[in-house]
Structure 1
Amino acid sequence: MQELTIDYALRATWQAVTKLYNEEAKNYDLTMAIGFTLLSIDPKKGTPSTALGPKMGMEGTSLSRILKNLEERGFIERKPNPNDGRGVLIHLTTLGLEKRKDSKEVVLRFNDTVKSHIDHEHILGFFETIKGINKLISEKNIYKKTTTN
């Protein structure tokens, strides 16, 4: 049954990708979560700390832990947001930019390898399927409550 459900296939594949990324990230003294965070920060303008969580689909507590780790390792610095006196912008340091570049190369290598082994039409179908699933979820069409009279 597990192999026949869409959620199982998504979860198992994502866990395999996560494991693969974490194994590769060790070679750069990173984790997948750190790499993902570095890739989510605008390398030129910085990113408001309040925008990172939603952008990454993470809870504030988890993101705070990662940002603290990144700051301690010298990958990021926090600067006041000139457009919002209360806000903070997360900027990449020189080291953070290097680690972001490493992370981007790993992601692109993964994508290139998958694309070289899977037919283009199947890749397009995969993205159409993911788009459809996300639309169903965002429109709350998965578990619609039905009214009975």
Structure 2
Amino acid sequence: MKDKTIDYILRATWQAVSRMYNEEAAKYGATMATGFALLSMDREEGTPSTALGPKMGMEATSLTRTLKSMEEKGLIERRPNPEDGRGVLIYLTDFGREKRELSRNTVLKFNEVVRQKVGDEKLRHFAEVAEVVNELIQEKNIFNTTELNNEKKY
């Protein structure tokens, strides 16, 4: 691990987690994106479709395909937003709530196994490091430093 870059570790780990979730979801005819969408929706009140993309960090075209597939499988239904006639609210069906619970249990199982293996203290440190990385990126403090800006252009 010593000679691997931070971004390599993050990317390789996320790819492994993603592959694991997709393999588990495939057992139920689903995908990780479907499970994530189910978990990102309000169970009872409905969720504005425009709020899902940012909440999930998903591009609109990918989200549209995911929602269409979920609707075809009977996991969700779309209804006009009574407070904004231009908007749509996404509601979980009974089947969607059932699959949401399955997704929730899958995520909780993953978290519990990792927590047992790693321990709470190391997980806290991991979360702290991830938070710092996210803050540096959000604040654009990686490539916008004075030292880099003073470098000669190619």
With normalisation by structure 1, the TM-score equals 0.95
CA distance in 1, matches of 2:78, 2:25: 24
Structure 1 residues 81 and 128 mapped into 2: Cα distance closer, same or farther (>3 Å)?
same
Large movers: runs of 4+ above 2 Å: 145-148
2:27 is matched with 27
2:9 is matched with 9
Q: CA RMSD, aligned part only?
A: 1.7
After superposition, residues 48-59 of structure 1 pair within 5 angstroms as: 48-59=48-59
After superposition, residues 35-46 of structure 1 pair within 5 angstroms as: 35-46=35-46
- Is residue 2–residue 8 contact of structure 1 (8 Å, CA) maintained in 2? no
Matched, 1:114 2:129: no
For 1:56-111, what per-residue CA distance to the aligned partner results, in whole angstroms no more than 9, with x for missing partners? 00110000000000001110000011111110000000111111110000000000
For 1:26-85, what per-residue CA distance to the aligned partner results, in whole angstroms no more than 9, with x for missing partners? 222211111001111111111100000000001100000000000011100000111111
Give the gaps of 5 or more residues in structure 1: none
Aligned-residue identity in percent? 59
| Letter aligned with residue 8 of structure 2 | Y
Give the gaps of 5 or more residues in structure 2: none
Matched, 1:77 2:84: no
CA distance in 1, matches of 2:33, 2:10: 19
2:18 is matched with 18
With normalisation by structure 2, the TM-score equals 0.92
1:140 is matched with 140
Q: Report how many aligned residue pairs link the two structures.
A: 149
